[in-house]
């Protein structure tokens, strides 16, 4: 176990709804990165938060947004859900943006 936890484990939403996924980072880590992994594909970088500020973003539309809290836990919010948003969402925590990333178990999101 990496010490990174995510909730919920599974989630089913309908198209157009909004969803919030949560991640608790490993103790001592101040950086959280979020990834989207479609079935049979490698993870795609969504964004990274370092000390409560967005520190980099991948090719995802603005309806994907996030937050990092003072305790370095993080949220991923997705608005106006689309069918293609169905995926495993992974978060990874690290000490600094160049530190080794430790992944959580993921949240499986299904959009119907």
Partner 1 sequence: KNQVEQSPQSLIILEGKNCTLQCNYTVSPFSNLRWYKQDTGRGPVSLTIMTFSENTKSNGRYTATLDADTKQSSLHITASQLSDSASYICVVSASSFSGGYNKLIFGAGTRLAVHP
- Nearest CA-CA partner of 34 in 71, 65, 69, 2: 65
75 interacts with partner 1 by CB under 8 A? no
Closer CB to partner 1, 60 or 102, in the complex: 102
Closer CB to partner 1, 69 or 105, in the complex: 105
67 interacts with partner 1 by CB under 8 A? no
**Within 10 Å of residue 47's Cβ, how many Cβ atoms?**
19
Report phi then psi at 45, rounded to 5. Answer: -70, 125
In whole angstroms, how large is the CA radius of gyration of the chain? Answer: 13
66 interacts with partner 1 by CB under 8 A? no
User: Which residues form the interface with partner 1 (CB under 8 A)?
Assistant: 2, 4, 33, 35, 40-45, 48, 50, 55-56, 58, 88, 90, 92, 97-98, 100-106, 108
């Amino acid at each position: 176990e990496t010490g990174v936890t995510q909730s919920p484990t599974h989630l089913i939403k309908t198209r157009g709804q909004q969803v919030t996924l949560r991640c608790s980072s490993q103790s001592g880590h101040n950086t959280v990165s979020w990834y989207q992994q479609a079935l049979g594909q490698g993870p795609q970088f969504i964004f990274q938060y370092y000390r409560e500020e967005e520190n980099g973003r991948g090719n995802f539309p603005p309806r994907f947004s996030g937050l990092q809290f003072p305790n370095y836990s993080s949220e991923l919010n997705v608005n106006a859900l689309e069918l293609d948003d169905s995926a495993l969402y992974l978060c990874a925590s690290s000490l600094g943006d160049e530190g080794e990333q430790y992944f959580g178990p993921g949240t499986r999101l299904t959009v119907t």
